Structure 1
Amino acid sequence: MQADPEAQRLLAMPEETYMNEEQLLFFHARLLTEQAEVEAHLEEVRKAVADNERSGDELDRAAVEEELRLLLRQADRETRLLRKIRQALRRIEEGDYGYCAETGQPIGLPRLLLRPTAELCLEAKERQEQREHHYSKSRGDQ
């Protein structure tokens, strides 16, 4: 599944050692790295937005506005991701990381390796998505 030897080593650990110190340190380091990357990219986006605002070329205004809209949408997504990363780091500190916020069951290493910010186990996430789909369908959004 993962080419990363460190991730392979974690996956090879017995289930009863779930969220041991080594696993928590691994995810803490991974989340900190991801946080730094997102913060650096958000700073780049902020600078690009500021540069676009100074651009006064009326000929390319539509293209500049479209680029700005895309940059702002990307910044919004990354801001939400940054919030999720910080919440995951807080869960590590509080000892809740790796366990489903809804059921209390382990989320599982494979899922956390793919999405280290996951708060729900796969079953709870599927139920949430079904509820959201049902709600949007009942509202006529589809």
Structure 2
Amino acid sequence: MTKEELLAQPSDKYMSEAQQEFFRHMLLTEREELRERIDRDFQGLRDYETPSDPADVGSAEEQRQSQLNILEREKRLLDKIDQALDRIARGEYGWCAETGEPIGLRRLLLRPTASLSIEAKERQEQLERHVREA
């Protein structure tokens, strides 16, 4: 099934077996690509050699720290992908964890790891802003 075919389906087919399989395949593909990228980047960090020029050491360490931050973000995304795959296995994928309402195909195509509807996510972000400002 293509994205266009997915979006053309009637609303009563929301999270049908075919749609769940579409997203499962999408998540598995993204997961594999992400794992390969993480492995490649970790290998690059393992092969890292400290520069002999003291002026380059600070710059190289800053770059290394930046790579570690990127790897940490990618690891968190990998965890979210695994959680989404678990929701598919339990039949909960595509439904808002807070309200039980459909998340929506367009949102899932843009962010296949989403567990909240747009409205629930906005409420969560407003609450987080409110807590930070307090």
Name the amino acid aligned to 1:57: S
Q: Percent same amino acid at aligned positions?
A: 47
- Offset from partner CA, 1:71-114 (integer Å, 9 cap, x none): 00000100000000000000000000000000111000000000
Name the amino acid aligned to 2:74: E
Counterparts of 2:116 and 2:66, CA distance in 1: 29
| 1:103 lines up with 2:99 in the alignment | yes
Unpaired runs of 5+ residues, structure 2, are none
Name the amino acid aligned to 1:121: S
Point out 4+ residue stretches in structure 1 off by more than 6 angstroms: none
The residue aligned with 1:43 is 39
State the Cα distance separating 1:58 from its structure 2 match: 3.5
Name the amino acid aligned to 1:14: P
TM-score (normalised: structure 2): 0.95
| 1:130 lines up with 2:126 in the alignment | yes
Counterparts of 1:74 and 1:133, CA distance in 2: 24
| 1:57 lines up with 2:52 in the alignment | yes
Unpaired runs of 5+ residues, structure 1, are none
For these two proteins, the number of residue pairs brought into alignment is: 133
Counterparts of 2:3 and 2:51, CA distance in 1: 49
1:1-142 matched pairs, under 5 angstroms: 6-52=2-48, 54-59=49-54, 60-138=56-134
Alignment RMSD: 1.2
Name the amino acid aligned to 1:91: R
> In the alignment, is the contact (CA less than 8 A) between 2:51 and 2:60 conserved in 1?
no
Counterparts of 1:133 and 1:22, CA distance in 2: 38
